[in-house]
Structure 1
């Protein structure tokens, strides 16, 4: 299961750009699926490398943010002669997001972390250690 599809990339970046990036020798005059599929596989592998320590893969219901992330990564991988500034910026943002997920600073919506109890509602989850002060330890005060 891929996080983004050919149609996702067409919807985001246009068929003309994808044709230019995948038809490397200019002979096909169409989007070359094998080149596009390779870029999508590379994007999935990068995403999975960040998610593997925190989520059970493959994700059963990947959130939309991974489609956007995979699209930006795949587009970057299609540029052979160096990406444009906008493509580089989108790639850097996607990698920064994945680093945040791996570090626990960002989450993937409703995906449950294996071995942990999901919090109720959409708010923050607070984890605390044992109580330091109790009625017993404060009895003399």
Structure 2
């Protein structure tokens, strides 16, 4: 199964120093990103994103959507900070905006910008065909 937010996408979005600060909060301090703590927050965030997207689409739907990835990263950052009881105003604003956007997707008000991204959606093979008039037995469209 894929993931919207990943450790790599979190590093790209927030930087190593920020993630060290928010994850390395217990003695003995290592000065490194605590990947177990970050991964737990990522899994929670991905599940939360799935919960919002599940009403409108098959999940995990668009793993390559930068919009979905951004929201998942913001939710994951909030979960990490919340676990440490160190939620900043910035974290709350990013989380609130992500949830607002996820709710808008859920309600069908906005899309996820997946026009060119890979999706897990199966193509429909049972398509109806409309014709005008009665078809000819001989295939020349005349009666």
Q: TM-score band (shorter)?
A: 0.7 to 0.9
1:12 aligns to 2:16 (yes or no): no
Q: Distance in 2 between matches of 1:24 and 1:82?
A: 10
Among candidates 89, 98, 103, match of residue 99 of structure 1: 103
Scaled by the length of structure 1, what TM-score is found? 0.73
Aligned residues: CA RMSD: 2.2
The structural deviation recorded for 1:24 is 2.5
Give secondary structure in 2 for the equivalent of 1:50. helix
Partner of 1:110: 114
Q: How does 1:46-65 map to 2 (within 5 A)?
A: 46-59=48-61, 61-65=63-67
User: Alpha carbons of 1:30 and 1:95: their partners in 2 closer, same or farther (altered >3 Å)?
Assistant: same
Give secondary structure in 2 for the equivalent of 1:109. coil
1:81 aligns to 2:97 (yes or no): no
Give secondary structure in 2 for the equivalent of 1:43. helix
Q: Distance in 1 between matches of 2:86 and 2:5?
A: 22
User: Alpha carbons of 1:14 and 1:61: their partners in 2 closer, same or farther (altered >3 Å)?
Assistant: closer
Unaligned runs of 5+ in 1: 118-141
Q: How does 1:26-65 map to 2 (within 5 A)?
A: 26-27=27-28, 28-59=30-61, 61-65=63-67
Q: Distance in 2 between matches of 1:82 and 1:20?
A: 10
Give a deviation string over 1:90-122, Cα, whole Å, max 9, x none: 10000000000011111122368x7xx9xxxxx
**Pairs aligned (count):** 115
Give secondary structure in 1 for the equivalent of 2:4. coil
